[in-house]
Structures are given as C-alpha cells and as structure tokens.
Structure 1
C-alpha cells in the first residue's frame, strides 16, 4: 500500500527530534509555529483510544502548537473517527499524486529554472515561498531547513527572471525511494506562465540521481492539481489534514 510508504517517509522526515506519543509520531519545529511544520502521523492501522488522543493534544499544547495531523487515511482508517470524537475537524482532503521520474512532461518556459545549493540561492527560494504562501519574512531558520533537506539528499529549485528569483520548490529528503515535492511557489507577478510546472518537472526528474523512484505531492486546490497533471502526476490516493483549534 502506497499510503504506508508515505507514512514511513513522513516519519523519517520528522527527523531525530520527532516526539513519540502513543500510536503517533509528531514533528515539531521549535522555531516556527506554522501548521505545515508541526503535525503528527499515526501508526499504520492505529486505533487510538481517547486517552491516547488526549495525550497527543497535550504534547501539542505544551509546546504552544495547534494539534494537527497529516496522513493517508487508507493506511490508518480508524484514526479519523477517533479524532472527530475528540473535536478535531477536517482542514482538507487532498489528492495524493505520484509521477515516476521517467514519465515527467517538461513545461517550456522563457526563464531559467535550476537546482541550487548555495546559501544566497536558498535565501531567494525562502523569500519566494514565504511571500507566495503569505508567511512571515524569511529567516535563517528557513534557510537552515533547506540545508537539512539538501544534506539528506533532497533538492531545492529556483526559477530566475534575470537575477530575480520568481519561483521555487523543494523535493524532500528521500526515504526508501519516496520523497515529497513541496513548497511549489511563484510570485504573483509571474503566475500563469508555466513556472510552477517547470519547477515541479525539474525536481521530479532531478530526484533520480538521489535514488528517488516515487516522488509524490498533495495539491492544495484544483488549479494546482491541473498544473501537476500536465507535468505527469496522477492520483493514487488521498491525504487528510485534520486539526483541533
């Protein structure tokens, strides 16, 4: 089941600072309280009790974080009902898409799109992503996060209009050939020019050298899904984001 592979990847991506709470592994970012950087992943086939969910909530509250999970419900079908009973509400259900690197469809664009590793370019990528996702101004912690991705075998890409970065994205640190394409961002001034697709295609194909055979992503809306479909991504399941406000 591919959902189990995604769960294994998410647990590995949580790193050595991950916190175990009953049948959940929690990823916390001590520098950033954004929902996208703080979430739990259930064990496969978990059937959490009310006490285990209460303990999970306490772990988040104790760190001034919002209790939240990102997972594949097909791999843990009993979890959603237990969370709903505890007051969690669905933030979103997103298609889970995959694309083998050798099936990528390139998107021609009139600007340069490239993989980057130097700090100056990583700062550019962080600024583009934070601006596009209406996050606070980029900091050194955003760059350090990219550096950990690169150190673990992942990739970061930027799209450049002259010297100005106008698009960016990343491919996470691989785990058993699986990695997530994430943070695909384009500045408002350059949207609808194929840049998101070009960044996605470059990251997807580039993962081959890192041993990534199964890149996946979860588009946030139908428009993004259409962009990824044109690159070659197809639906294989569903991802659930669920939160307790």
Structure 2
C-alpha cells in the first residue's frame, strides 16, 4: 500500500530526534513552531486508546506546539475516529499525487528565468528567503538554511529559479531526503511578481526528473488547493490517495 510507504518516509524524515508516544511518531522542530514542521504520524493500522491520544497531546503541549497529525488515513483508518473523539478537528484533506520520473511532462515557462539545482550555502540562503516570503513566514534565518542543508546531506534536492534579467532568485522548491525511493516534492514557491508564468510547474518537473539521479523513484506531493493541483497535473502527477491534516487547537 502506497500509504504505508509514505508513512515510512515521514517517519524517516522525523530524524533521530523523533519522539514516540503510543502508536505515534512525533516530529517537532525546536526552532520553528509553524504547523508544517510539527506533526505526528501514526503507526500503520494503529487503533489508539484514549490514554494514548492524551499522551500524544501532552507531548506537543510540553513543547508549546499545536497537537496535530499529517498522515494517510487509508493506512491507519481507525486513527481519525479516536482523534475526533478527543476534540481534534480536520484542517484539510488533500489529494496525494505521484509521478514516476520518466513520466514527467515539460510545460511552457517564462523564457526569462533559469532553473538550477542549489548546493552552496549562499544559494540556500536565497532559496530560504523566497520560500519564507512566498508562504508568509518570518524572515529566513540560519535554522532555515540548516534545514535545507540537512535535506541535501540526506540526498534530497533543492532548486532555485533565477530571473536572468535581474539575477534575482524568484522561485524555489525541494524534495525531501529519500527513504526507500520515496520522497516528497515540497515548498514550491514563487514570488508574487513572477506568478502565472509557468514557474511552479517547471520547478516541479525539474525536481521530479532530477530525483531519479538521487534515488527518488516515487516522488509524491500534496497540493494545498485546486489551482496547485492543476499545475501538478499538467506536469504528469496523478491522484493515488488522500492525506489528512488534523489538529487540536487551544
């Protein structure tokens, strides 16, 4: 089941600092309290008790983080009911899309931009600035750059989009560090000034194709809205399931 593969990847991405509470693996970012960096993944086929859910909530509260999960409900169908009973509410249900690297489709892109892979710290700083601005996050700092460096060190990929007329970085994207061939294509970001020029699709296509050389045979992503889903569909991504984001707000 692909959902189990995604869960295995997410647990791997949680890293050595991951915590366990009952049938949950918890990923917490000590420097960033933003929701996308703090979540839990249930064990496959988990059937958590009320006490186990309470322990999960406590683990987040102890670190001043919002208790929340990101997971594939098809792989753990009993978890959502237990969370809803504990007061959790659904943030969103998002299509889970995949595209084998050899099936990616190139789409038209503004000819005044160049897309390139990034490996230097200077390039990672530029990427971090674009990503944070695009997602309305605080100004990029050394922890954002360190996070991108860990992705590279783990075999992931970071890309930047350069406006060739100004030399400014105007877009970016990344994959996660692959685990058994699976990795997420994420953080596709484009500055407001350069949107609707085909850049998001072009970055996604490049990351997907380049991922094959990095050992990523099953790239996946979860678009935040229908507009993003259409962009990814144009470059070859298709729906294979659903991801659930669910949290307990104070």
Q: TM-score, normalised by structure 1?
A: 0.99
- Cross-structure match for 2:25: 25
**Which runs of structure 1 show a deviation greater than 3 angstroms over 4 or more consecutive aligned residues?**
none
1:156-180 Cα offsets, whole Å, 9 max, x none, are: 0010003101100001000000000
Residue of structure 2 in register with 1:193 after alignment: 197
Partner of 2:157: 155
Matched, 1:178 2:194: no
Query: Residue 130 of structure 2: SS of its match in structure 1?
Result: helix
Q: 2:227 aligns with which of 223, 228, 245?
A: 223
1:78-109 Cα shifts (integer Å, max 9, x gaps): 00000000000000000000000000101232
Query: Aligned pair 1:243/2:247, yes or no?
Result: yes
Counterparts of 1:76 and 1:54 in 2: how far apart (Å)? 18
What SS does structure 1 have at the residue aligned with 2:10? helix
Q: Pairwise CA RMSD of aligned residues?
A: 0.5
| Structure 2 stretches lacking a partner, 5+ long | none
Tell me whether 1:122 sits opposite 2:124 in the alignment: yes
Partner of 2:80: 80
Equivalent residue of 1:120, what SS? helix
**CA distance in 2 between partners of 1:188 and 1:137 (Å):** 16
Gaps of 5+ in 1: none
Counterpart Cα distance in 2 of 1:134 and 1:58: 29
CA shift, 1:210, in A, is 1.1
Q: Deviations over 1:22-42 (max 9, x none)?
A: 100000100000000000000
* TM-score (ref. length: structure 2): 0.97
Provide, for residues 26-75 of structure 1, a one-character-per-residue CA deviation record: whole Å limited to 9, x for no partner.
00100000000000000000000000000000000000000000000000
Q: Which residue of 2 aligns with 1:35?
A: 35
The answer to whether residue 147 in structure 2 is matched with residue 142 in structure 1 is: no
